[in-house]
């Protein structure tokens, strides 16, 4: 089944008409928009392969190939499916899942958090004081993570400390690691990607972050 997902109704109609004329029959979703549209699309239709079609100048992950060429290549099976890891945060029975990153940051802007970080049960460094932290996947490392650290990475997970009192370098850890964050002072909001859903992590609370069992799947065209 072919679907087109996006916010530009006229653009979606044009793209849908082209797909129908091409005769393409695949279980693929065309995400028509920018990077944010893709993140929303993955939340709505998790795990289904998606091809990113850019209609926004700000769309780093969206390719610049024309729709006509993409349809021809899809019909000729000149593509592969790449699996990208997701990460999830759990606080009790509450869960958030992210393709890019999970952010834990202070609920009150004028009040710094005090928190500890544990990797596979081992406490990392001393108690941190600051706005919070960002846990990123390789796919998402070119976004918020990079804006805080100036770095990207291609494997495992990355942890960036957000505006801490002591300047702390980002942590790069194995993708199978379990991260726990315990809040010692202040309350924090936890969010995933660009979702409006947030979970409140109160003083004394613990959030667990780790790789999800599920993957995001992206269509990669075999361009020679």
Which domain CATH number covers 33? 3.40.50.10330
Q: What are the structure tokens assigned to 85, written together?
A: 């890891």
Tens digit of pLDDT for each residue in 153-183?
Answer: 999 999 999 999 988 899 999 999 999 999 9
State the total domains in the chain. Answer: 2
Give 189-213 pLDDT, tens digit per residue.
999 999 999 999 999 999 999 999 9
Dist CA 143 CA 148 (whole Å): 9
At 219, list the tokens. Answer: 């269509």
Task: Name the pLDDT band for 85 (thresholds 50, 70, 90).
Answer: very high
Cα 92 from chain centre: 22
* Judgement on whether residues 22 and 106 belong to the same structural domain of the protein: no
For 164-180, b/e burial (b = at least 16 CB within 10 A) is beeebebbebeeeeebb
Question: What predicted TM-score, i.e. pTM, was given to this entire model?
Answer: 0.91
> Which residues touch 131 (CB under 8 Å, ≥6 apart)?
105, 106, 112, 113, 162, 163, 164
With bands split at pLDDT 50, 70 and 90, how would you rate the model's confidence at 66? confident
Last residue of a domain, one of 54, 77, 100: 77
Last residue of a domain, which of 45, 77, 109? 77
Percent of the chain's residues with pLDDT above 90: 82
């Amino acid at each position: 089944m072919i679907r087109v997902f996006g916010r530009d109704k006229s653009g979606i109609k044009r793209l849908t008409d082209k797909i129908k004329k091409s005769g393409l029959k695949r279980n693929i979703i065309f995400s028509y928009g920018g990077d944010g549209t893709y993140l929303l699309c993955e939340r709505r239709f998790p795990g289904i392969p998606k091809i990113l079609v850019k209609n926004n100048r700000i769309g780093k992950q969206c390719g610049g190939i024309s729709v006509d060429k993409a349809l021809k290549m899809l019909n000729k099976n000149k593509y592969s499916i790449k699996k990208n890891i997701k990460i999830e945060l759990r606080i009790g029975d509450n869960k958030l899942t992210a393709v890019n990153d999970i952010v834990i940051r202070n609920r009150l802007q004028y009040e710094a958090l005090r928190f500890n970080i544990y990797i596979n049960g081992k406490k990392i460094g001393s108690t941190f004081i600051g706005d919070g932290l960002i846990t990123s996947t390789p796919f998402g490392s070119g976004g918020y993570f990079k804006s805080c650290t100036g770095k990207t990475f291609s494997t495992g997970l990355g942890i960036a400390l957000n505006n801490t009192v002591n300047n702390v370098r980002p942590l790069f850890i194995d993708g199978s690691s379990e991260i726990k964050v315990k809040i010692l002072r202040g309350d924090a909001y936890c969010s995933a990607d660009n979702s409006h859903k947030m979970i409140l992590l109160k003083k004394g609370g613990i959030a667990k972050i780790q790789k999800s069992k599920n993957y995001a799947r992206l269509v990669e065209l075999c361009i020679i």
